[in-house]
Amino acid sequence: MIVRTQTTGQASANVCRFSVVMREPSIGKRLSLVRTTLPRLPFRYARQNQVLADGVVYSLPDARTLAHLAEVLSGLIDAGGKQVLEAFYSNNEFEICAGDEAVVLDADLAAALGLPENLAAGECYAGAVDEEEMNESDYYRATVEHMEIDGFFEDGKHTQIIDEFRQAEELPQTEFTSKDNAISFGLYLQAVKKDGTVVDIAVQNTERICAWLKVVG
């Protein structure tokens, strides 16, 4: 049997968290996550205080790709309705042209893009980017909540983790079993960054996310 669950960002507090309701109690069942519809893993995660222009500080949201980061930067608008800067990405080269005011980039952002921190008004700057090195995400992690299970075995004991998979990969569909006699449980998907940090994946209010689980037994 396949159990399908879906929700929206508004209903899930803007994270990838599902409520799974089964037809029968979970005891004696073998379950596996077989399919998902999720937001892309961020290429670069949201940060505060990334761009300074004319005394105004701008923060940046999650960026899905380097091309998307260029779109986000180009979308920064000053109080007069003008672009703070224009950004372009192509063939591992990232270019930024400052607008009518000088621009100061966050030091880490400038270094990642191969650009100087201080950009003179009306001037354009280009830098070489190592796309794979700049990508901060590694893989998705799926965890079961509100039901004790035999998940991944780590450090001498079972955990609540049921699967880990990368964006372009097919799901491993690793089976897990329940220790409880539950009719429902929570499914929580997060991102694991390359530095090992586990973080939530942002889901927009109207964005719909789905998960399919196979139940055997």
Give me 71's structure tokens: 């779109």
Give me 107's structure tokens: 């030091």
Instruction: Tell me the residue type at 60.
Output: L
Burial 167-178, CB ≥16 within 10 A → b, else e: eeeebeebebeb
Domain that holds residue 100: 47-134
- pLDDT for the residue numbered 85: 98
- pLDDT for the residue numbered 168: 84
- pLDDT for the residue numbered 217: 87
What is the tens place of the pLDDT at every residue in 131-165? Answer: 999 999 999 999 999 999 999 998 899 999 999 99
Asked whether residue 77 falls in the same domain as residue 128, the answer is yes
- How far apart CA 100 and CA 116 sit, in angstroms, is 18
Instruction: Tell me the residue type at 65.
Output: T
Asked whether residue 58 falls in the same domain as residue 25, the answer is no
- How far apart CA 37 and CA 151 sit, in angstroms, is 22
- pLDDT for the residue numbered 126: 97
Asked whether residue 72 falls in the same domain as residue 130, the answer is yes
- How far apart CA 174 and CA 214 sit, in angstroms, is 10
- Which among 95, 110, 134 is the end of a domain? 134
Asked whether residue 145 falls in the same domain as residue 113, the answer is no
Contact 101, 56 (CB under 8 A): no
**For all residues of the chain together, what is the average pLDDT?**
96
How are the residues of the chain apportioned to helix, strand and coil, as percentages rounded to the nearest 5?
Answer: 10, 50, 45
Asked whether residue 121 falls in the same domain as residue 160, the answer is no
Contact 3, 213 (CB under 8 A): yes
- pLDDT for the residue numbered 28: 86
Closest CA to 3 of 160, 144, 191: 144
Instruction: Give residue 51's Cα distance to chain centre.
Output: 22
Low-confidence ranges of the chain (pLDDT < 50): none
Give me 138's structure tokens: 């590694």
Asked whether residue 51 falls in the same domain as residue 21, the answer is no
Asked whether residue 104 falls in the same domain as residue 59, the answer is yes
- Which among 89, 117, 134 is the end of a domain? 134
Closest CA to 167 of 30, 39, 18, 68: 39
Asked whether residue 32 falls in the same domain as residue 6, the answer is yes
Asked whether residue 25 falls in the same domain as residue 62, the answer is no
Give me 47's structure tokens: 């940060």
- Which among 99, 134, 169 is the end of a domain? 134
Q: How many domains does the chain have?
A: 2
Asked whether residue 151 falls in the same domain as residue 169, the answer is yes
Asked whether residue 128 falls in the same domain as residue 147, the answer is no
Asked whether residue 172 falls in the same domain as residue 209, the answer is yes
CA 76 vs CA 86, 101, 107: distances in Å: 9, 13, 18
pTM across the whole model? 0.88
CATH number at residue 189: 2.60.120.1100
